[in-house]
Structure 1
């Protein structure tokens, strides 16, 4: 069964330097999906603790903050790790992702982040029941029925309306609320989904490594405003590619109008998933304010037992999709 560690193999170059290859099938346009990049950071951090600091047994990411300064690209990505603080229970790392500029071959710093590492299997300390409940409450689900696409509240999403542009989304099977079942009190800028991992068409399972991708892959909620009939048209459709494209042409523009690049992403991991992974995860995504070309995302991830697995917040932009495919020379080269 495929996990994200299989999708993103890491090569250690030196004790604090690593490389990963970003692939085309995980892109939005020409840019690797931000969640895909986030997971690369998580896997590199875990690999660093396993190889360079093996005695510490701290290979689980418990907290992460990333700043996306420049667009990443398909191809080799180089990670430089700085050991900020090595502790007996918690260790802190600083990671920088660099890639060669396509015009000069000089290395450019593109994404930087701080990651907190620990051994979640040995965590011991005060635990209290806060009584927190996700609100509004999600609709009930029968996962056996959902696996057959027969659940009364959720239905499998068909092809993405702009699948050639948003290729990364094809690596996840999403089940969304049936339009006729959506409660009136649910805000428009809220998405509930049950997701299965399907890397490049293969059956996969969610592990903690995958959480960076899980919190950043979902139907773009702004599309429900700019293309209000489009998402409903994708649900439950079992059409050929030509039939689907013809349907989409009747509902919206032929190309994605917007691109939603991530400015910063925070991830707080609450639970260690089984090493062999799990099939289903529930994800709620909500925006609180969309204004002046910027918006926020609040993300909650739960397992099949309704236990909170992770929280995430994003700051993102709304820009023309043409900004994604038009690449300019990068500035401020750095040395690996």
Structure 2
């Protein structure tokens, strides 16, 4: 089983922040403002070793190079993910600020978050059990609220998903902080599923179905399973969330091209007030799900 790429990304962010706090505490640069990761090989559940290199130490920003390594089947330590992270202190940033007038298009549907928390919002509904939960366990830590199928405007492209999310670690109430943004930008219903398993995805919403009926439908119809490994991930953090975190974040996911088993993703993250929190771009593959659940010994992890 390969861990969720967003979980790996947030782990990189946490390691970078911890490195700055322990090794360069006087610089007071605890926040990730920019990140680029290359997923070289499949990661696996278990122990991992991070190596952090100071590339450039600056008065306002610091550049780090990080690698994640794990033991392969021949008991050799192999680099699996590596990337560059830019650190700063977002709480004390000053400089030129201009209003650009940028807005999402198409405009997101209106939401009543108090009603949404009770499952009574007119436009959004909670997403039920994942269609393929056995190898997408990370989704169980997040509560997703998607557009009700009957409320989805006809001008919304199929390759676009809007969701409001809350953090529910182990089913308990949680708060979303900047450390979680790496996870947030890689945890969502896959756009490809809107094409190859559309009925199953709508069943996951449980609109008009009991949880038991939704699970039965998924078990009967959810047979076309894919894995979507990330090749590279970029993250630009625009806003520092409150230290205690927030309950809700809005996430828009959109693909521009899905071709020959390769696709892109653009992710916007906004807070309750509509402020831009982060932008992320992904380059990904769509392959058979068996590639996620099997691991051949003594062979390179090929994609």
TM-score by length of 1: 0.87
Equivalent residue, structure 2, for 1:37: 8
Match of 2:48 among 77, 101, 119: 77
Equivalent residue, structure 2, for 1:13: none
1:232-271 paired onto structure 2 within 5 Å: 232-236=202-206, 237-240=209-212, 243-253=213-223, 257-271=225-239
Q: How many residues align?
A: 298
C-alpha deviation, 1:301, in angstroms: 0.1
Question: Aligned partners of 1:105 and 1:201: how far apart in 2?
Answer: 36
Question: Aligned partners of 1:252 and 1:104: how far apart in 2?
Answer: 36
Question: Aligned partners of 2:221 and 2:157: how far apart in 1?
Answer: 22
Question: Aligned partners of 1:52 and 1:179: how far apart in 2?
Answer: 50
C-alpha deviation, 1:244, in angstroms: 3.6
Match of 1:192 among 155, 162, 172: 162
Q: Which runs of 5+ in 1 are unaligned?
A: 1-29
C-alpha deviation, 1:164, in angstroms: 1.4
TM-score by length of 2: 0.96
Q: Which runs of 5+ in 2 are unaligned?
A: none
Question: Aligned partners of 1:32 and 1:251: how far apart in 2?
Answer: 25
Q: Cα deviations across residues 141-192 of structure 1 (Å, max 9, x unaligned)?
A: 0000001110000001110111112111111000000111101110001000
Q: Mark the CA change 1:278 to 1:330 in structure 2 (over 3 Å): closer, same or farther.
A: farther
C-alpha deviation, 1:251, in angstroms: 3.1
C-alpha deviation, 1:104, in angstroms: 2.2
Match of 2:113 among 125, 134, 143: 143
Match of 1:62 among 18, 29, 33: 33
Query: Could you say what secondary structure the match of 2:18 adopts?
Result: helix
Question: Aligned partners of 1:202 and 1:212: how far apart in 2?
Answer: 20
8 A Cα contact 1:196 1:205, kept in partner = yes
Query: Could you say what secondary structure the match of 1:75 adopts?
Result: coil
RMSD of equivalent CA atoms = 1.2
